[in-house]
Amino acid sequence: MRLSLRAFAYVGITALAVLAALWATRDSPVERAAAGLLGERWYRVTLHGDPVGAFVSRGTRGRDGYRFETELRFRLGSGPEVHIVDALDFDATPDHRLRSAAHRFASGEMSVHTALERRGDVLEAVVDRRRSPLDWDYRLSDYVMLEAWLRRERGPRARALTRSLDLGELRIEREIWQVVERNATGYRLRQASAAGHTEVQLDAGLVPLWFDLAGVFSMERVAGADAAAAWRDAPTANLQERHAVPVDVPLTAPHALTKLTLRVHAAADADFGNWPGLSADGEGGWVLTADGGADRAVEPGEVSEWSRATPSLPAGDPAVRRLADRAMLGIEPPHEQVDALVDFVHGYLEYAELEGVRTVADTLRSRRGDCTEYADLLTTLARARGFPARTVTGLAYDPETAAFALHSWNEVAVEGRWRGVDPTWAQTRIDATHIPIPEERSLTFMGLLPKLEFEVVATEY
């Protein structure tokens, strides 16, 4: 049995790509930024210090305006090479509106394309040839917002709010950056996100020299393509084994556990953030308790956040809605509908230990996948049926290795409360070995996993 690392790794590696793309043009105020950074910048991408990929940003200027393109190639473990290209075209006129943009994601034989196109004053999203107007706009001034702010000589602890464009999900992300220090090299900045803390070192011209994401992924500027290509000759690491957490004794009948208490052994300075179920043991250590379910009230803001269709979770696709209806078999009670969705996904897919990243559309074509594919398909089908749902990544017990490993499952909102389910293991109520990790520090937490050990304190069945 393989428990997926990809839900963490993909978030981290693409987050670095987005961050680097944001800095691809940051050398001067709006008018000069585009002209000042034409050409190429190459970066080496690493995971825990091991080379895993390369990133390049390119800028060109033509009669119609400015074009900025970023390209990321990486490989995690023995999986296929992942290739991500983003391109943005801005008008030449002083308003510098975004004229068009394109995003391409490819992993192995799978490829996904999304785009933005302007019609008059409105940007439209184009996904699978379907067009939909957006309720927001984007300009070059947004792209260089942080750079323009920094040129006013900001001091330590100064903070700025910026707007970045996530082309993969076709939405605007608001980010808060803080100046850590003004040093001899330039600026060192910090930004907190759902993935973890990012630090960036800029030179005197505000060109990024390195990025560090939660101490897990990093990028370092190099001289050119040859220097960035070192990852292709690097040995392949077993990422799953590196991030498994050993436990002192094997767990008996783990799927029947209703409550599990573990003592967490880690370095004294380990920072777990707001880890659900973790508390101090009074002796300088930590105790972690899991009870096999979310079982908390749904907050008003969560309904819209976890109900929407996205390019990666196409809940609004007519074919997806028909499949969700097919899973219902005329069932009416909401709790039984969720049970039916779990059973349907478990039977619809064939378990396969896949490497690389897959989309829900690709999963529906192949009908194969591991826990990430099972969970993402359930999230999509549940949203198509009107249930707020999300994919959860955390730790779960693997009987084959007698250790906790990364795993994906779901939380579905039913009649005002969140409920944990696991379609990979056909669990309509998850067992107590499912331990979610802090959402706001997912990659930071991943960096701690190789340093953790669990000790069983108590079990209930």
Compute the average pLDDT of residues 309-333: 90
d(CA 379, CA 372): 11
Compute the average pLDDT of residues 216-233: 90
* Proportion of the chain above pLDDT 90, given as a percent: 37
- In this structure, the answer to whether residues 210 and 281 fall within a common structural domain is no
Q: What is the predicted pLDDT for the residue at 380?
A: 96
- Amino acid making up residue 244: A
For tokens 């192949």, name the residue.
Answer: 366
What CATH number is given to the structural domain containing 415?
A: 3.10.620.30
Which of 86, 72, 375 lies closest to 211 in space, CA to CA?
72
Beta carbons within 8 Å of 32's beta carbon, 6+ residues apart: none
Q: Residue 428: helix, strand or coil by DSSP?
A: coil
With cut-offs at 50, 70 and 90, classify the pLDDT of residue 113.
confident
Tell me if 240 is assigned to some domain: no
- In this structure, the answer to whether residues 65 and 144 fall within a common structural domain is yes
Tell me if 238 is assigned to some domain: no
Name the domain boundary from 180, 211, 233.
233
**pLDDT: is 59 or 16 the higher one?**
59
Query: How many residues can be counted in the chain?
Result: 461
With cut-offs at 50, 70 and 90, classify the pLDDT of residue 19.
low
Range with the largest mean pLDDT of 31-35, 179-183, 355-359 = 179-183
Average per-residue pLDDT for the chain: 84
23-77: pLDDT as tens digits = 554 434 677 666 656 789 999 998 878 888 999 999 888 888 889 999 999 887 6
Q: Is pLDDT above 50 for 90?
A: yes
Compute the average pLDDT of residues 7-18: 61
Name the domain boundary from 165, 199, 233.
233
Name the domain boundary from 233, 268, 292.
233
- In this structure, the answer to whether residues 203 and 294 fall within a common structural domain is no
Tell me if 1 is assigned to some domain: no
Tell me if 432 is assigned to some domain: yes
With cut-offs at 50, 70 and 90, classify the pLDDT of residue 143.
confident
300-309: pLDDT as tens digits = 888 888 998 8
Here the tokens at position 174 are: 């608001």
Range with the largest mean pLDDT of 49-63, 347-361, 372-386, 389-403 = 372-386
With cut-offs at 50, 70 and 90, classify the pLDDT of residue 232.
confident
Q: What is the predicted pLDDT for the residue at 194?
A: 52
Q: Is pLDDT above 90 for 385?
A: yes
Q: What is the predicted pLDDT for the residue at 294?
A: 62
d(CA 431, CA 408): 13
Q: Is pLDDT above 50 for 2?
A: no
Tell me if 303 is assigned to some domain: yes
Q: Where does 207-317 show beta strands of DSSP type E?
A: 208-213, 217-222, 245-246, 259-265, 278-280, 286-290
With cut-offs at 50, 70 and 90, classify the pLDDT of residue 9.
low
Q: What is the predicted pLDDT for the residue at 22?
A: 54
- In this structure, the answer to whether residues 223 and 253 fall within a common structural domain is no
- Amino acid making up residue 381: L
- In this structure, the answer to whether residues 165 and 264 fall within a common structural domain is no
- In this structure, the answer to whether residues 278 and 146 fall within a common structural domain is no
Tell me if 412 is assigned to some domain: yes
Q: Is pLDDT above 90 for 437?
A: no
With cut-offs at 50, 70 and 90, classify the pLDDT of residue 420.
very high
For tokens 């749904």, name the residue.
Answer: 298
Overall number of domains in the chain: 2
**pLDDT: is 254 or 272 the higher one?**
254
Of 399-403, 420-424, 441-445, the poorest mean pLDDT is in: 441-445
Q: Is pLDDT above 90 for 374?
A: yes
Q: Is pLDDT above 70 for 262?
A: yes
Classify each residue of 226-239 as buried b or exposed e, where b means 16 or more C-beta atoms within 10 Å of its C-beta: eebbebeeeeeeeb
- In this structure, the answer to whether residues 209 and 261 fall within a common structural domain is no
Question: By residue range, what is the domain housing residue 307?
Answer: 245-460
- In this structure, the answer to whether residues 189 and 276 fall within a common structural domain is no
Tell me if 103 is assigned to some domain: yes
Tell me if 37 is assigned to some domain: yes
- In this structure, the answer to whether residues 347 and 382 fall within a common structural domain is yes
CA angle 224/227/229 to nearest 5° reads: 105
d(CA 78, CA 89): 35
- In this structure, the answer to whether residues 195 and 341 fall within a common structural domain is no
Q: What is the predicted pLDDT for the residue at 400?
A: 85
Beta carbons within 8 Å of 266's beta carbon, 6+ residues apart: 272, 286, 448, 451, 452, 453
- In this structure, the answer to whether residues 226 and 107 fall within a common structural domain is yes
Q: Is pLDDT above 80 for 6?
A: no
Q: What is the predicted pLDDT for the residue at 266?
A: 82
Outline where 28-90 has alpha helix (H). Answer: 30-36
Which helix (H) or strand (E) segment holds residue 443: the answer is helix 442-448
With cut-offs at 50, 70 and 90, classify the pLDDT of residue 320.
very high
- In this structure, the answer to whether residues 252 and 184 fall within a common structural domain is no
Check residue 11 and report its DSSP letter: H
